[in-house]
């Protein structure tokens, strides 16, 4: 049996056209199938009978301005809720959504369910560190996290780095300001004490915003607010640095130097491209769930579907649950 | 009468050698004088009778691990407290410190004093935006800020952009996650309502981490925790992008292309260099106070002294107080 991914066709800046185009790319080689959830009248002409894609009707879409949990509770026919129900019922093995991330988190939490001992699933972004990939958890799903939730994230992120990225004995650090350990706001100080006391973690103390790409630690633990800001600042600065460099070279005549710079830029850009994975795993749920970038293009959506399928094949949720259960080493 | 800046010689990663070297550069053209605060036995050989520098003895240094306010209260003979007292007494016109930023904030608040209506001075970093300089306030002085403090920062940052940077009708935005206005953690939502209700501000709603260098708004308002993380992530990502590009080109033979790329890289690097200003103004204090980068090299310290002197000549604290007083337009 092949892997089946439920995709919310109605979520994301380019929905539904870009989502459908990405899904068509993802199913092309037959390695996975997709349940495409949304309005059939809109989706049918876009899908055009491509094998591997089945349309599942959903009557509504969660508006960007809605309170996420409230929206899911009051409207079980919205596309993200129907997609989550497909995973819950076993019709699909995993979920991909480029829509409202709060609504996706709510649908996963309320419909798919959480692994034992996890009060809030957290978003694990994988960054291109200098030496190896780096996990940033939480990258934006939860705001107002508690120190206990940050502790749970450290365990989930460590297990993820080991199981999915193959990093042995992953080290972790707490995102804060200043290098001295324990420096930061009240929440960070309390979380620092919890991480320090957990002998199952290879906790290295504080890391700063500048350490996101330096491989100082393998897992960077943060609340979703600061984590998302750090992630976006990193992406934005790299993009802006490249833009300004390109401007310098475009001003010059079309020389060999210009050509070589474009090649080098292209290579490093690809390396730092947020669409490498297409999205981020929501860890701590009972099934694989990927939040894709809201601005994902078809290529990013296809990557997100493949990334979800890889997590399903690995049995990621069960592996994380086994590693992070209370009392496990 | 020339401008006199009190400099904490004992603070910063390269103290006292780099601080003294920077101060020597700053006084060279005679445009400002420095009171160099610290241990005379250490400082005298480094200063070597250079005109424009007077050593002011201080017995101790605030340790990096101390509780800042407690340290200032219990040890008025530490270098940062003595430097602040020099400003308070009128012996100096402004303050520069590359040391413990919490201790500098505490010394400024407790000894120099705050402008009326400001409960906490805030750090205003100036970033190289795409179109013009951008102010980020607070860049790391205050953690656990209240919505009311964020509102005061918006007013201070707007006045600073106008008075020091010469930006007419500066726009401001609130650093948060997601583009929809009012999205974010509880504090951000409350601050959003306050900014929206203040007709003296050109408030443009939410900005994200990726907007630090794009000139989307002129003043980015943030609590010091997320602000510092965003600032460091921006600096770190630009640095890492350049490092990787340089690696690509170093691998190639020494060609004209390589040389031209190095030139372009150098230009954009200089543009994004955090030492352009050498530090950041602590706004809302009764005198000019600059927190220099902890890792500032001599060039950065010299820039910080010149930046402080420029603020003194402009009469910045009085101008900000006039513009941000309650009831002022």
Return the structure tokens found at B309: 């002197």
Any residues with CB less than 8 A from the CB of A274 and at least 6 apart, and which?
Answer: A235, A293
Q: For strand A134-137 and strand A202-207, is the pairing parallel, antiparallel, or unpaired?
A: unpaired
**Does A141 have pLDDT greater than 60?**
yes
What is the number of CB-based contacts under 8 A between chain A and chain B?
A: 196
**What residues of A are in contact with residue B236 (Cβ under 8 Å)?**
208-214, 234, 237
Asked if B235 lies within 8 A of A232 by C-beta distance, the reply is no
Q: Say whether residue A208 is in contact with chain B using an 8 A CB cutoff.
A: yes
Strand partners, B7: B36, B96
Do residues B204 and B224 both lie within one domain? Answer: yes
Given A275, A301, A319, the domain boundary residue is: A275
Q: For strand A288-292 and strand A279-283, is the pairing parallel, antiparallel, or unpaired?
A: antiparallel
**Dihedral angle at the C-alpha atoms of A246, A250, A256, A261, nearest 10 degrees?**
0
**What residues of B are in contact with residue A213 (Cβ under 8 Å)?**
236-237, 240
**Does A105 have pLDDT greater than 60?**
yes
Label residues B14-44 b or e (16+ Cβ within 10 Å = b).
Answer: bbbebbbbbbbbbbeeeebbbbbbbbeeebe
CATH number of the CATH domain containing B206: 3.40.718.10
Do residues A64 and A28 both lie within one domain? Answer: yes
Q: Say whether residue A105 is in contact with chain B using an 8 A CB cutoff.
A: no
Mean pLDDT value across chain A: 90
Residues 51-70 of B with CB under 8 A from A: 64-65
- Cα separation, A82 vs A7, in Å, equals 10
**Does A128 have pLDDT greater than 50?**
yes
Residue with tokens 């009778």: B49
Least confident of A270-274, A293-297, B163-167, B318-322: A270-274
Any residues with CB less than 8 A from the CB of B60 and at least 6 apart, and which?
Answer: B75, B77, B78, B79
**What residues of A are in contact with residue B210 (Cβ under 8 Å)?**
232-233, 235-236, 239
Greater confidence (A308 vs B1) lies with A308
The pLDDT tens digits of the residues spanning A28-63 come to: 999 999 999 999 999 999 998 899 999 999 989 988
Do residues A112 and A188 both lie within one domain? Answer: no
Residue B55: Cβ within 10 Å count? 19
Mean pLDDT score, A261-277: 75
User: What is the tally of structural domains in chain B?
Assistant: 2
Res A124: pLDDT: 97
Return the structure tokens found at B275: 């030492």
**How far from A240 is each of A49, A159, B240, CA to CA, in Å?**
41, 34, 13
Q: Say whether residue B129 is in contact with chain A using an 8 A CB cutoff.
A: no
Return the structure tokens found at B284: 């809302």
Given A275, A294, A309, the domain boundary residue is: A275
Asked if A255 lies within 8 A of B258 by C-beta distance, the reply is no
For residue B315, give its domain range: 1-118+284-329
B205 occurs within a structural domain: yes
ipTM (interface predicted TM)? 0.89
Label residues B215-252 b or e (16+ Cβ within 10 Å = b).
Answer: bbbbbbbbbbbbbbbbbbbbbbbbbbbbebbbebbeee
In what helix (H) or strand (E) does residue B38 lie, and over which residues does it extend?
strand B32-38
Burial class of residue B297 in the structure, from the number of CB atoms within 10 Å of its CB (0-12 exposed, 13-18 middle, 19+ buried):
middle
Do residues B305 and B253 both lie within one domain? Answer: no
Asked whether B143 and B101 are in contact (CB, 8 A), the reply is: no
Do residues A50 and A183 both lie within one domain? Answer: no
Residue B203: Cβ within 10 Å count? 22
Res A329: pLDDT: 47
Return the structure tokens found at A329: 């080493």
Asked if A184 lies within 8 A of B143 by C-beta distance, the reply is yes
Q: Say whether residue B228 is in contact with chain A using an 8 A CB cutoff.
A: yes
Do residues A254 and A296 both lie within one domain? Answer: no
Share of chain A above pLDDT 90, in %: 70
In what helix (H) or strand (E) does residue B64 lie, and over which residues does it extend?
none
Do residues B136 and B258 both lie within one domain? Answer: yes
Q: Which of B104, B208, B234 to mutate to test the interface with A (most CBs of A within 10 A)?
A: B234
Strand partners, B289: B95
The pTM of this model reads: 0.92
**How far from B107 is each of A247, B43, B66, B86, B112, CA to CA, in Å?**
44, 22, 13, 11, 7
Res A20: pLDDT: 97
- Cα separation, A164 vs B26, in Å, equals 53
Res A252: pLDDT: 54
Residues 273-312 of A with CB under 8 A from B: none
Asked if A237 lies within 8 A of B241 by C-beta distance, the reply is yes
Do residues B244 and B326 both lie within one domain? Answer: no
Tens digit of pLDDT at every position of chain B (329 positions): 599 999 999 988 889 999 999 999 999 999 999 999 999 999 999 998 899 999 999 989 988 777 888 989 999 999 999 999 999 999 999 999 998 888 999 999 999 999 998 999 999 999 999 999 999 999 999 888 899 999 999 999 999 999 999 999 999 999 998 766 556 778 898 999 999 999 999 999 999 999 999 999 999 999 999 999 999 999 999 989 888 888 877 655 556 666 777 777 788 878 777 667 789 999 999 999 999 987 788 999 999 999 999 999 999 999 999 999 865 54
Res A149: pLDDT: 95
Mean pLDDT score, A213-241: 94
Res A164: pLDDT: 95
Q: Which of A64, A229, A272 to mutate to test the interface with B (most CBs of B within 10 A)?
A: A229
Asked if B249 lies within 8 A of A264 by C-beta distance, the reply is yes
Res B243: pLDDT: 87
**Does A166 have pLDDT greater than 70?**
yes
Asked if A209 lies within 8 A of B225 by C-beta distance, the reply is no
Res B295: pLDDT: 79
Q: Say whether residue B225 is in contact with chain A using an 8 A CB cutoff.
A: yes
Do residues B97 and B63 both lie within one domain? Answer: yes
**Does A255 have pLDDT greater than 80?**
no
Q: Where does chain B have alpha helices with state H?
A: 17-27, 40-47, 68-74, 79-88, 101-107, 147-163, 186-197, 224-251, 256-271, 298-314, 316-324
Q: Which residue of A has its CA nearest to B99?
A: A178
**What residues of B are in contact with residue A238 (Cβ under 8 Å)?**
237-238, 240-241
Do residues A237 and A295 both lie within one domain? Answer: no
């Amino acid at each position: 049996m092949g892997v089946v991914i439920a995709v919310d066709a109605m979520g994301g800046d380019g929905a539904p056209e870009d989502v459908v185009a990405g899904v068509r790319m993802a199913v092309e080689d037959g390695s996975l199938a997709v349940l495409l959830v949304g309005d059939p009248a809109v989706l049918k002409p876009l899908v055009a009978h491509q094998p591997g894609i089945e349309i599942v009707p959903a009557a509504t879409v969660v508006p960007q301005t809605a309170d996420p949990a409230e929206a899911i509770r009051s409207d079980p026919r919205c596309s993200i809720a129907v997609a989550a129900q497909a995973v819950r019922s076993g019709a699909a093995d995993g979920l991909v959504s480029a829509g409202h991330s709060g609504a996706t988190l709510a649908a996963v939490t309320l419909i798919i369910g959480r692994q034992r001992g996890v009060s809030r699933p957290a978003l694990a972004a994988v960054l291109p560190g200098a030496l190896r990939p780096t996990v940033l958890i939480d990258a934006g799903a939860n705001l107002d996290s508690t120190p206990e939730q940050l502790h749970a994230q450290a365990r989930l992120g460590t297990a993820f780095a080991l199981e999915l990225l193959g990093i042995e004995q992953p080290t972790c650090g707490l995102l804060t300001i200043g290098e001295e350990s324990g420096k930061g706001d009240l929440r960070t100080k309390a979380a620092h004490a919890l991480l320090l006391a957990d002998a199952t973690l290879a906790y290295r103390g504080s890391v700063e915003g500048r350490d996101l790409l330096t491989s100082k630690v393998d897992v960077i633990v943060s609340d979703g607010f600061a984590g998302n800001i750090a992630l976006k600042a990193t992406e934005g600065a790299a993009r802006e640095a490249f833009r300004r460099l390109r401007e310098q070279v475009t001003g010059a005549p079309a020389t060999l130097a210009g050509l070589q710079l474009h090649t080098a830029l292209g290579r490093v850009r690809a390396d730092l491209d947020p669409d490498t994975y297409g999205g981020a795993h929501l860890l701590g749920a009972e099934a694989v769930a990927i939040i894709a970038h809201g601005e994902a293009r078809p290529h990013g959506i296809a990557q997100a579907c493949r990334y979800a399928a890889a997590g399903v094949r690995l049995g990621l949720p069960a592996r994380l649950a086994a590693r992070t259960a209370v009392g496990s080493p």
